[in-house]
Amino acid sequence: MEFSWSLYEHISPDLRMTARHVKYLAYFRFLKVSLLLLNLFLITYGLVDVHYQEPEFGLTMAIVPVSIIHAILASICVKKEDMLGIALVIMFHIVYLITRLIVLNGDGLLARTLMKEEMLLFASFALSFNIVSVAFAVLTAEATVPFEEDPPQIAAKFPDVDQRLYSPAFINPDNVAPGFANGTSAPNSQQTLEQFLWTLASRNEWMTYHNPVFTSEEGRSIPYLALSSSKSLLQTSLVGNTTNKVRVWLQGGVHGNEPAGEKGLLALLGRMDAEPEWALGLLEKLDVIVLPRYNPDGSAYFQRLLATSFDPNRDHTKMASQQTMEVKQLNLKFNAHVHLDCHEYGARRGLTYENKTYIPAQDNQFSAFKNLNVHAEIRSMAESLFVPEVASALRKKNLTTNGYVVALQENDTIKLQDFVTDTRGEVTVFLGQGLAFLSETRGIGIGDRNFQRRTTAGMTAAETVLQIAADNAELVYETVEEARKDFIENDHEMIVRDHPRWMETTWPYLDAETGNITEVPVLFGNNTPPASKLTRARPEAYIFSRAWANAALRLRAAGVIVDELAVDFEGKVEAYNITSATLTETKYEGIALTTVNTELSKKTMKFPAGAYWVGTKQQHAAQAFVRLEPESTDGFVTFNILPVNAGDEYQVYRIPFKSH
């Protein structure tokens, strides 16, 4: 976390982080002033009042360098977010100043001294500034979601279930961090995670422990396990498409304060270790990568964000973090058919209807990814095969489930939007024409409450995805591979913008007062599938100047093949004229997003050799669609990677198919 403080001022990802940086600066200002006042008091008190009376004179003078050391320690502690360290260091100053004020206001000899008023002034102000600095230190170091205890009527709805768990938090409960109880730390350390993964791999020849050369923003390792009965996969850290099995990518811990996603995957690995026959039965059909802790820095501070305070699940357009690109390269090399992203959702998010408060009732919200630029056969298989079977598996364990929704309160209306179609999250597999799913377990904000049940829910979703993929391996493999071939070859329209289909329905919620499950009227935005809002013919290619190397870099990082022209180009293109460009009123992840409208025109253009050519007959072409089309809500124009103003000609051009 320490180095990220120096970035807050310049990055300013959002208003909350900007405010946090201001509090951080205020903390240091008050700390410096209090140190100055303390030393003025010490020198005056030592030279005038105690005046070579030993041992107090010597002790008083010794406090001067000690106070400076303490101030340095206080600054280190707040950067490290060590609340105990902050308290111990500054409380030393506060206690000392209080004792001296008592002495100076007493009846003893030391109270009858020259410059008493000055000493009282220095000591009083030093004490006040120390107290204020403590307050700002607490505000600065506070990075966690507020902890809220479930009342008895709610807690009763989430008892432990009959499930043995083999993840570290349950194998060695004494090693769970004390702060996890109130939601201020992750249950297990980075060392515990690494040791657990290494131990499993060391006793199973079909598990291989990998510690990639890339690290988190603060240098922490991002270990993963490769699971395969095929030695060609296990013998190299550069995993790739080396078998004809269904390839499954499982990841958790993207947000550092959502531990059940990670622990569900660790429990799955523990079960595979404990039941090797079952595991090997799966691996006859599957090759699997399990990356349980995507965001080790966030886990270390038990915060949602990366160390730089960017959201790792909103960084897949702008790719501000090198970590985002590095993990994505590993994902691309594996080229999975199936992807599962494991998270937690806010357990205590209250919504109101007719003056009553309701909170989410689901142990797990499970959805398929949704974007119309992915082949219809893939989306159909996800919704018809995987989603209902995962729901059935959860219910068999008496766990409640539904699809994932984004909730919004508008006056007395509860609006729920189906899992959104945006692509600023981790969509590498999905937009690469693969099956992709989101598992959201109840949990954010409730510490260690119901953790056995929460971990079971996350594990059940993950193991069911594996079981479905294995039981239907031939169908899954053929469906995805054939869909990828067809996507490359067809000339279907692309979907630039879509919107949910709104309807009135009911949704199961817990009555916050009684704990009863209640069907609450809501306005539901259905994205299964969404409605098309703006479509456009698929071009043969996009072409743009090599001056926009940052755009080419991000396309390549997303898996898109970007060629560089060996010779000059002259030909007919479609050009976008920007008819309007509107900025958002507040920044999103440090960026004022831009929404544009355009008109297409035809013209002849020349490009010198070295210009970028992005053909659309490729597996990851959908990434090019959603990044390069200027109206796309997750495109390079929206995120100002390719900045435009009204009246501009957008500097990415379309090469139409001759048949168009």
Picking from 437, 367, 441, the residue whose alpha carbon sits closest to that of residue 161 is 441
Is the Cβ–Cβ distance between 390 and 440 less than 8 Å? no
Cis check: omega of the bond before 521, within 30 degrees of 0: no
Cα–Cα distance list, 88 to 95, 193, 248 (Å)? 10, 30, 49
Amino acid letter, 439: S
Residue 221 burial by CB count (10 A; 0-12/13-18/19+): exposed, middle or buried?
middle
| Pairwise CA distance, residues 191 & 182, whole Å | 22
Helix/strand/coil for 209: strand
15-44 helix and 83-104 helix, angle to the nearest 10 degrees: 30
Cα–Cα distance list, 177 to 166, 220, 255, 257, 585 (Å)? 17, 19, 18, 14, 41
Furthest CA-CA distance within the chain = 102
Annotated catalytic residue 410: no
Token couple for 489: 């070859």
Amino acid letter, 356: K
Catalytic residue among 344, 426, 440, 589: 440
116-141 helix and 15-44 helix, angle to the nearest 10 degrees: 160
- Using alpha carbons only, what angle is made at residue 282 by residues 281 and 285, rounded to the nearest 5 degrees? 100
Helix/strand/coil for 24: helix
Cα dihedral value 78, 79, 81, 85, nearest 10: -50
Amino acid letter, 645: N
Sheet strands (E) in 196-321: 207-210, 224-227, 246-252, 286-291
| Pairwise CA distance, residues 216 & 1, whole Å | 11
Q: Which residues are catalytic?
A: 440
